[in-house]
Chains A and B, each alone.
Chain A
Amino acid sequence: MNLDFTPAEEAFREEVRAFVRSRVPPATRTKMLDGRHVSPRDLVEWQQSLHRQGWGAPSWPQEYGGTGWSPVLQYLFEEECAVGGAPVQLPFGLKMVAPVIMTFGTTAQKQRFLPRIISGQDWWCQGYSEPGAGSDLASLKTRAEKQGDHFVVNGQKTWITLAQYADWIFCLVRTDPAAKPQAGISFLLIDMKSPGVTVRPIITMDGRHEVNEVWFDDVRVPIENLVGEENRGWTYAKFLLGHERTNIAGVGGSKRELARLKRIATLERKNGAPLIDDPCFAAKVAEVEIELMALAITTLRMLAAEARANIGAEASLLKIKGSEIQQSLAELLMQAVGPYALPLQLDAFERGDAEAITGPAYAPPLGAHHCKTRKTSIYGGSNEIQRSIVARTLLGM
């Protein structure tokens, strides 16, 4: 046992740090560290920079153009990127659909889709949830009927993150209505430009347009866009859900937010002294910081356990704790600015117009950020669903 990174790992960390420092555009870095809106362009440009460096797909095996890094290196990479203010790499293509295509797809599918994911050419989104199928995902109703060499898709998906920019959507669709809920589902890749696909925005309580409804009205999908076997889609979906683990806890992002919290709490005052020196506030910050220290080690332990194929409820555990920490940090950030979390001055904040902002320049997004972060315990399988998974694994029931 050794809780220090090896010299080779430290050298790797330095290399990533230097890359992040020199290649993330300063404007993008400022947006990330301040909690400003990051544009689709910023995201794609960062993916392209990483791709040019050969780091486009940290979690992929080398045969598909990935880095072949160990889980520890992937963890270090993601942490350095997050702390250094790099935009996130969107997971939908890289970490969700790609592993499914690699594992269950045809050679033609691999050749067609994987290179365009790693290069940032194709933007993917995930079509799982429906208005009537949230935590009970297997009750989904979107239909795909086989007609000759096409599937004809009808139905509605919802909560589709960034679908407004997407080129492709991977969908769970019902291909056998007579079978048991889990048995009649297939995994389809659908071109967002297909006739009959409509994207409608959902505005969330932070005032942003990030998620969407996607409607399918007699959308014709070529049969070669079916991944794996018909009616086996549930198996692939479960594979996908358990696949992405190195960053599921979001330790790097939370370290960045903790640093932001400390900076702001150093500038804010209470009773004439920096807020960070207030015993009540300092104790709350320390509690989150300590939980995060533990989570970093727990993540590395779970990754090591996974390498031995000892997969249980690790991903669920990391998701629960990670999302709770993200929410605590968002809440403390809001509390740090007190009443100045109330004025809604997002436009002035986005423009960087400090004169138009009534309170501290860093305050305007913090109320909305808190609102937005409530989603983390809901998405990706609500924390209650995750607790049930943990209990099932634990109890064997």
Chain B
Amino acid sequence: MDVEFNKDQQLFADTLQRYLAQHYSFEHRRGILRSPEGWSRQIWTGLADLGLLGLEIPEEDGGMGGRPVEILMTMTAFGRSLLVEPFLASAILATRLVRDLGSLEQRRALLPALASGERIVVPAHGEAGARYDLNSVATSATLVDGAYRLSGKKAVVLHAPAADHLLVSARTGGVPNDSADVSLFLVDPRAPGVSLIAYPTLDGARAADVTLRDVRVSVDDRLGPEGGAGPALASAWNVGVAALCAEAVGALEATLAATVDYAKTRKQFGVPIGTFQALQHRMADMLIHVEQARSMSYLAAIRARAPDPDVCASSVSAAKVVVGRACRRVAQEAVQIHGGMGMTDELAISHYFRRLTAIELSLGDTDHHLERFVVTSRRRMGSGEETRSPPAPASIRRHPDL
């Protein structure tokens, strides 16, 4: 058991922190948000130069080999800086899917381009009404004359406007909500039949609804076996949730720090408002939320790659529940303690509020993950893999009425 970072990992985090301090100040980010693209190619290249876009890429494919702790630290640093570039979508989710499902040719063609920042690929998976159900896919892929025809509508595809390729999930058979028969296709968003309706999101990112009308996709652009994308999608999503939890911790830390600073300097009735017990105790509770969330971000980072799917799912979901609660509570208290200033766009605190709110709703909200925790931990208990529970004493017996 070792709950701390080693020297190399600390150094890694320090380097990244320095880069962000220099290139990603709040003002710099504000400029990026105002730009027509809403993200910065220059920053993206900077992240590539630091090797970060290759964190999920195996060493034999020229990457850093998928290091959970470095990814955790990276995401936490991005959370502090409120990074809006498509790191989670492209460098984690899509990269993992290419890595896990791609043929040798596809990996050779895509992974180096992903690592160098040359190409951005984002998953286009969610659909209207699917909520957070990963298997709810209605978009269809039909084989016609040796090529697929894709039709359907993908909803709230984060970073789609920045993508060089979309990884579209579509059903080659079966019924909606069935994990079988879902395949992934590499789709050029400029291909005939693809249309995007782009919009900004609550937290300053860009997204789009993607409509596919009889889009022709070559068989060579299918990732993995036909109908076999389900497990890889689930696995990528678990790693994505873990990454999101780590990002949340960075944003939570920064939110608390800004709130504490504000409470120390803002004076009312002739004294700093931080001297008021009503506010002190709220900030103490915020700290407890942050530390509990940090603990669970570690658990998620490590267990997201566990071979047993139930161990993986129950740990990751437990983490998202703790993190989701922390996001909501800390963000709301921070705005409250900032008073009217917390409501303004001018202060960073409202930007943290919006990002933390978005994180709670992304890749499964708190209710979704609470339910998934109940289901998966029950299954583990049933299979006897749950942490040992002591033998039931003889005095515990059934209710006499039964």
Known contacts: A300-B1, A359-B399. The answer to whether A397 contacts B274 by CB under 8 A is yes
Query: CA–CA, A264 to B399, complex, Å?
Result: 10
User: Hey, what's the 0/1 contact readout for B276-288 against A, CB within 8 Å counting as 1?
Assistant: 0100110111011
The answer to whether A294 touches B292 (Cβ under 8 A) is yes
Binding-face segment, B39-47, B209-217, B294-302: B294-302
Judge if A85 is at the interface, Cβ distance under 8 Å. Answer: yes
Interface residue total, chain A, C-beta cutoff 8 A: 62
Name the interface residues of A307-355: CB closer than 8 Å to any CB of B: 313, 316-317, 320-321, 352, 354
Name the interface residues of A337-387: CB closer than 8 Å to any CB of B: 352, 354, 359-362, 384, 386-387
Judge if B390 is at the interface, Cβ distance under 8 Å. Answer: yes
The answer to whether B390 touches A395 (Cβ under 8 A) is no
Judge if A1 is at the interface, Cβ distance under 8 Å. Answer: yes
The answer to whether A387 touches B281 (Cβ under 8 A) is yes
Judge if B370 is at the interface, Cβ distance under 8 Å. Answer: yes
Query: CA–CA, A392 to B284, complex, Å?
Result: 9
Cβ of B298: which chain A residues have Cβ within 8 Å of it?
A: 1, 3, 297
The answer to whether B299 touches A361 (Cβ under 8 A) is no
Known contacts: A297-B299, A300-B3, A388-B281. The answer to whether A397 contacts B264 by CB under 8 A is yes
The answer to whether A72 touches B393 (Cβ under 8 A) is no
The answer to whether B322 touches A291 (Cβ under 8 A) is yes
Interface residue total, chain B, C-beta cutoff 8 A: 55
The answer to whether A395 touches B318 (Cβ under 8 A) is no
Cβ of B104: which chain A residues have Cβ within 8 Å of it?
A: none
Cβ of B396: which chain A residues have Cβ within 8 Å of it?
A: 34, 263-264, 267, 361-362
Cβ of A9: which chain B residues have Cβ within 8 Å of it?
A: 1
The 8 Å CB contact of B284, one of A269, A283, A394, is A394
Q: Which residue of A lies closest to B303 (CB)?
A: A3
The answer to whether B392 touches A395 (Cβ under 8 A) is no
Cβ of A279: which chain B residues have Cβ within 8 Å of it?
A: 371, 374
A168 to chain B, nearest CB (A): 34
Judge if B291 is at the interface, Cβ distance under 8 Å. Answer: yes
Query: CA–CA, A225 to B4, complex, Å?
Result: 42
B325 to chain A, nearest CB (A): 9
Judge if A179 is at the interface, Cβ distance under 8 Å. Answer: no
The answer to whether B281 touches A269 (Cβ under 8 A) is no
Known contacts: A30-B395, A298-B295, A395-B274. The answer to whether A304 contacts B4 by CB under 8 A is yes
| 26 CB-based A-B contacts, threshold 8 Å | A2-B302, A3-B302, A9-B1, A255-B387, A267-B397, A267-B399, A279-B371, A286-B373, A286-B377, A290-B370, A293-B296, A297-B296, A297-B299, A300-B1, A301-B4, A301-B295, A304-B3, A313-B287, A320-B284, A320-B288, A352-B395, A360-B400, A387-B284, A395-B264, A395-B280, A397-B280
B residues within 8 Å of A by Cβ?
1-6, 9, 69, 260, 263-264, 272, 274-275, 277, 280-281, 283-285, 287-288, 291-296, 298-299, 302-303, 318, 321-322, 370-371, 373-374, 377, 381, 387-390, 392-400, 402
Contacts A83-B388, A293-B299 supplied; 14 other A-B pairs, CB < 8 Å:
A3-B303, A34-B396, A269-B399, A286-B321, A286-B370, A287-B370, A290-B322, A290-B373, A298-B295, A301-B295, A304-B4, A360-B400, A388-B284, A395-B260
Q: Considering the complex of A and B, which 5 residue pairs feature the smallest CB-CB distances, nearest first?
A: A391-B280, A297-B295, A390-B284, A387-B284, A259-B389
A residues within 8 Å of B by Cβ?
1-6, 9, 29-30, 33-34, 72, 83-85, 255-256, 259, 262-264, 267-269, 279, 282-283, 286-287, 289-291, 293-295, 297-298, 300-301, 304, 313, 316-317, 320-321, 352, 354, 359-362, 384, 386-388, 390-392, 394-397
